[in-house]
Structure 1
Amino acid sequence: MRFFIRRVAFYIVTAWAAVTLNFFIPRMMPGDPVQALIARYQGQISVDAVNSLRKLFGMDAHESLWQQYIDYWVKLFHGNLGVSLQSFPTPVSQIISQSLPWTIGLVGLATIIAFVVGTVIGIILGWRRGTKWDALIPITTFFSSVPYFWIGLMAIAIFATVLQWFPQGGSYSVDSLPGLNWAFMSSVFYYGFLPALTIVLSSMAGWILGMRNMMVTVSSEDYVTVAHAKGLRESVVMFRYASRNAILPQISGFALSLGFVVSGTLVMEQVFNYQGIGYRLLQATNNHDYPLMQGIFLVITLSVLIANVVADIIYAFLDPRTRKEG
């Protein structure tokens, strides 16, 4: 119990530090978001509205920095992340809620597929080392070392430009009406196939190599030798004895990768013009939309922290040695 209490306390402090940094960093960046908004809507927003806009964005000159910090926390507890500059007056929470499902659906599903397939292949490669299966190792090493945006560009060049099997970018066809209907869902799957394939190919290689190396390590352990001596089938020894212990680092890594799903793959979404959270973050950066950047960073940070908590809990249950007091 003390282990879990210490971990929860650590992550609470980490979350407070992340939120605090998220408050101060935009205020230390060069530029004035209010003046940028007025310049963008030149002639449409009165200069007299500067004070009202500053208060709206939590930068009231008549309030101390400490009071702004307190107000920021109060807004967070009410789910208020501010108002976007580039989509003024749309709330930041609305933009994030519209973009987040696209990223979670695409990157999340691709991450799960890559983990499952990569782990199974890694188990086989590690168990059958020294056989013809080792021919797959150079291939996996190649994909793990190549930047995933390069794989995306090659996928577009081959499957979209030359073969014309898939579209070059976008999230769904402009001819389909968004909703829970077959035409729209099939369009989403069709447009998301190449981005998902890019993520699976680039991340699966890491899971394969990681699992293979762990399988090679545990194959010489005493409990594996005893299982062989009992006359158990090879498949039973491989999956119930060797892989069960070798998969522990994979589980914790998988939990962390799920936390990073929320951040999306910025370059991939940019390459495929996919309307996920990474693409929104890039737009916010280019347009100096500090409130939107602030909101996206906060969501990403909290998601990673939650994933760390889940990873610690899962690992503690799988391996009781981690719960021992130092």
Structure 2
Amino acid sequence: MKYYARRIAFYAFTLWAAISLNFLIPRLMPGDPADIMLAKMARSGEVAPGVEKTIRLLLGADTDQSLWDQYVAYWGNILQGDLGVSVTKFPTPVTELIGAALPWSIGLLGIATVISFVIGIAGGAWIGWRRGTWVDNLIPASTLLQSLPYFWVALLLAYLFAVQNPVFPRIGGYDVFTFDGPELSWAFVGSVIHHGFLPALTVVLSSFGAWLLGMRNMMVSTMSEDYITTAEAKGLRKSRILLTYATRNAALPSIAGFGISLAFVVTGAIVMEQVFTYPGLGKLMITAVQGNDYALMQGLFLVITLTVLVATFFMDLVYGFIDPRTRHNG
């Protein structure tokens, strides 16, 4: 129980620090969202004082409050699920924009990350088991794919399979000419899969090589352990040694790394989403940065932070369950 209590205390402190920094950093930067919005409105004509006051209150730029009062109000808004109003999509609430983009990033990048992890772990275990044979030649090829930049792989796939050979669409998350918006139907699901194939393939090709190489090296190290030699001497089936003894222990470090990778899914492969104009958090982040939309940036950073902390905390619990030594040493 001490292990879990320490982990909870650590993540609670980290969450407080992250939210506090998320509050302070935009306020240390020059300008504020209200000034940006008012400047845009001023291009169309004079802004009435009443409208200016309303905009400042709506965007949380009430200069009459002290920094501490703003900090307390910020915590109160977060606890109520209020992340402010977007400047670039005024007057749409930030929570609505993030809520619309989050399922796309989780659905696409989450599934692609799981697929790349499964391929890497299964392939790495097999290559490590048959080390020294021709299958070791697969490692350099996977490492080459991993070393290629995300945007280059995305552009290459888009050029080959969307431009030269229009097998898959190049932009969007679904067919906007067929569907007015997301809906629960097999036709819509098929359209989403069709549009998401190339972005997902980009993620898989660019990331499975790391899992493959890491798992292969861990398998080679595990195969030299005494308990593997003992299992072989007892005459246990090779399949049992591979799955129960070797793969299970070799996969432990990869499971911890998988938790981190899965946590950062919500950040989106920003460049990949931009290449394919995919409606995820990565594309929304670029929109926020280009429009100096501080409220939207704050909301995105907060969601990313919360997701990373929750995912790593969950993986800590899982890791402590599958490896009891962690609980005693932690």
TM-score normalised by length of structure 2:
0.96
Distance 2:147 2:281 in 1: 25
Report which stretch shifted further, 175-184 or 19-28. Answer: 175-184
Distance 1:173 1:323 in 2: 49
Aligned pairs for 1:80-229 (under 5 A) are 80-177=82-179, 178=181, 179-229=183-233
Q: CA deviation at 1:314?
A: 1.1
The unaligned stretches of length 5 or more in structure 2 are: none
The percentage of counterpart residues that share the same residue type is: 52
Q: Indicate yes or no: 2:272 matched with 1:305.
A: no
Q: Secondary structure at the match of 1:324?
A: helix
Corresponding residue for 1:46?
A: 47
Q: CA deviation at 1:44?
A: 6.5
Q: CA deviation at 1:194?
A: 0.2
Q: Indicate yes or no: 2:295 matched with 1:291.
A: yes
Q: What does the per-residue CA deviation read over 1:168-218, in whole Å, with 9 as the maximum and x for residues that have no partner?
A: 221111222131123222111111100000001111111111111110111
Distance 1:325 1:214 in 2: 22
Q: Which amino acid aligns with 1:320?
A: P
Distance 1:137 1:253 in 2: 19
Aligned pairs for 1:232-251 (under 5 A) are 232-251=236-255
- Consecutive aligned runs of 4 or more in structure 1 exceeding 4 Å deviation: none
Distance 1:47 1:249 in 2: 61
Distance 1:118 1:325 in 2: 29
Q: Report if the CA contact (8 A) 2:139-2:209 is conserved.
A: no
Distance 1:316 1:252 in 2: 10
Question: For 1:76, which of 59, 75, 78 is the aligned residue?
Answer: 78
Report which stretch shifted further, 184-193 or 275-284. Answer: 184-193
Distance 2:292 2:234 in 1: 66
User: Aligned residue pairs: how many?
Assistant: 326
Q: Report if the CA contact (8 A) 1:176-1:183 is conserved.
A: no
Distance 2:23 2:167 in 1: 46
Q: Which amino acid aligns with 1:37?
A: M
Q: Report if the CA contact (8 A) 2:32-2:294 is conserved.
A: no
Aligned pairs for 1:28-39 (under 5 A) are 28-39=28-39
Report which stretch shifted further, 316-325 or 92-101. Answer: 316-325
Q: Which amino acid aligns with 1:183?
A: A
Q: Secondary structure at the match of 2:267?
A: coil
Distance 2:229 2:59 in 1: 65
Q: What does the per-residue CA deviation read over 1:41-64, in whole Å, with 9 as the maximum and x for residues that have no partner?
A: 233772413233222222211110
Q: Report if the CA contact (8 A) 1:255-1:308 is conserved.
A: yes
Q: Secondary structure at the match of 2:236?
A: coil
RMSD across aligned positions (CA): 1.3
Corresponding residue for 2:11?
A: 11
Q: CA deviation at 1:264?
A: 1.1
Q: Report if the CA contact (8 A) 1:252-1:314 is conserved.
A: no
Q: What does the per-residue CA deviation read over 1:248-294, in whole Å, with 9 as the maximum and x for residues that have no partner?
A: 01111111211111111111101111010110011000000110000
Distance 1:263 1:272 in 2: 16
Q: Indicate yes or no: 2:24 matched with 1:24.
A: yes
Q: Report if the CA contact (8 A) 2:143-2:209 is conserved.
A: yes
Q: Report if the CA contact (8 A) 1:38-1:47 is conserved.
A: no
Q: Report if the CA contact (8 A) 2:34-2:61 is conserved.
A: no
Q: Report if the CA contact (8 A) 2:33-2:61 is conserved.
A: no
Q: Secondary structure at the match of 2:34?
A: helix
Q: CA deviation at 1:94?
A: 0.4
The unaligned stretches of length 5 or more in structure 1 are: none
Report which stretch shifted further, 231-240 or 211-220. Answer: 231-240
Q: Report if the CA contact (8 A) 1:83-1:92 is conserved.
A: yes
Q: CA deviation at 1:40?
A: 1.7
Distance 1:157 1:86 in 2: 31
Q: CA deviation at 1:325?
A: 4.6
Distance 1:313 1:172 in 2: 37
